[in-house]
Structure 1
């Protein structure tokens, strides 16, 4: 299979930081060289995450490699080349589009010390990370109670994921509720408000915006072990990826997919398909 790998590929790329308008389609982007500890994947579909557009806006420029950049982290496709030091993958294997959101959800819960019998409030429960936090808290960690915020039309959806208390953030200030929680997982950047909803001595997990003590902000450190732990829950269907029915875009409309993601109205994941029809 390696012998048939082309030298050029189709991709969306940006040469400078900025809004959706800096994204350009190109048909002559160099196919990446595979290092000894890497694999090359022929992408069939991809999922977008908020970190993708924040990266394009230059929010991580101090730690990021400079443009030109082909955005994206999550892909589904076929392994076509394997580095000499890679173990556990071979040419012909499929790769999945789930990792970034579900690993972020899991690692945040783990770092917060979440465990059986504890309660949790998820801010932004209908988003890509939030939907996984809810499912993992219930199915994997054994939460005693799950509360989550969303807009009016998504409250029943939250309940279908296992939420006990669905909070309409357009009508209710979650920080004013008399009940406090063992962990607050802030997936939307509520800052000072989030710490008002957590029990004394407990934790707030931040993945967006600034962290207010006793909360903490973390950057995902993935090594694949989390996914191995979660395989039984994924294969049994106890934990499922949630795809936004309005958020499925063909490859030629990647810019429109980003524009939709940046409205912050997506339910679950925004997905790019038909990359290599």
Structure 2
């Protein structure tokens, strides 16, 4: 018997839904009467305040991994920041009224939930959530979970450790902006290099990059300097392996991996967020949201189209929800 406290939860809610796969701008429909998801005993119901988009959202809609996806109709969205309005019987960490954030899909590509975060309410396992850092807005918190967990777990996978050097490909993107900061502030990198287009080089430096490489003017793999780790957030592992030192490691989160590079796919975990919350609260790590990157709920299709340009700096967030 889940406890509702005094919160009134509607029986029908608004959500963005696609009934068939295709380009999000064509297939997404705003549905006014979606059922509120039932919570299981290890889940909480979250009133969504903000949700962010990730490339996996449009790749999923386009059918890139339809063989291992849940069947449509699908409410897209992995990232959420919101307020707990109901808790399952076995939930220990959270109570009604808690402000939380997280990536609601434990396995990024293996049957992600049919009911995601582009809805007024969503159900999520407590182990995937953490309390929202007090100093962050819901918009900032929503921008983080999938990207910061991917950044952190990818660095762990590469066995990154204090004193090592790293090259980040795609340093101005959702994951790259966080890899730069985590490498420096959490993992103790001796040197951080990162690539971006000309207009974003200053951003890379402001996030802690010692060397900002303009990929429109030079090929990173032709530089004399080689790195202990290359974190490929753009899908260029063939080139990435030419920039790593002998015995170093290359992780890629996009496309196929050219050995010795390894492809890394996130398993979402709220404990990573809990571990990083002190760095967010002390502002050693800062969320990066695109200057044009906050879209109201009614403009979710436009937000997808903007993300699909591949030119976004940091993250795109949907707020307010309703």
TM-score class, shorter: over 0.9
Give the SS at the match of 1:91: coil
Residue equivalent to 1:17: 21
Residues 83-135 of structure 1, C-alpha deviation per residue, up to 9 Å, x if partnerless?
11122111101122221110000000001100000000000000110010000
Shift of 1:70: 0.4
Q: Distance in 1 between matches of 2:274 and 2:36?
A: 29
Shift of 1:167: 0.5
Q: Distance in 1 between matches of 2:261 and 2:89?
A: 41
- Matched-pair contact (CA < 8 Å) for 2:221–2:240: yes
Q: Distance in 2 between matches of 1:122 and 1:55?
A: 25
Residue equivalent to 1:63: 68
Q: Distance in 1 between matches of 2:237 and 2:264?
A: 14
- The answer to whether 1:40 aligns with 2:54 is no
List aligned pairs for 1:231-246, cutoff 5 A.
231-246=277-292
Q: CA RMSD in A?
A: 1.1
- Matched-pair contact (CA < 8 Å) for 2:169–2:234: yes
Give the SS at the match of 1:275: coil
Q: Distance in 2 between matches of 1:86 and 1:222?
A: 18
Q: Distance in 2 between matches of 1:62 and 1:109?
A: 29
- Matched-pair contact (CA < 8 Å) for 1:202–1:214: no
Residue equivalent to 1:254: 300
1:128 pairs, out of 158, 174, 177, with 174
- The answer to whether 1:83 aligns with 2:88 is yes
Q: Distance in 1 between matches of 2:274 and 2:92?
A: 14
2:271 pairs, out of 219, 225, 230, with 225
List aligned pairs for 1:134-149, cutoff 5 A.
134-149=180-195
Q: TM-score, normalised by structure 2?
A: 0.84
- Matched-pair contact (CA < 8 Å) for 2:220–2:243: yes
Give the SS at the match of 1:148: strand
Give the SS at the match of 1:184: strand
Shift of 1:274: 1.3
- Matched-pair contact (CA < 8 Å) for 2:149–2:269: no
Q: Distance in 2 between matches of 1:232 and 1:44?
A: 22
Give the SS at the match of 1:128: coil
Q: Distance in 1 between matches of 2:99 and 2:8?
A: 18
- The answer to whether 1:160 aligns with 2:206 is yes
- Matched-pair contact (CA < 8 Å) for 2:183–2:189: yes
Q: Distance in 1 between matches of 2:249 and 2:12?
A: 47
Residue equivalent to 2:261: 215
Q: Distance in 2 between matches of 1:250 and 1:272?
A: 6
Structure 1 unaligned spans of 5+: none
2:229 pairs, out of 180, 183, 186, with 183
Shift of 1:152: 0.4
Residue equivalent to 2:159: 113
Shift of 1:222: 2.3
- Matched-pair contact (CA < 8 Å) for 1:16–1:68: yes
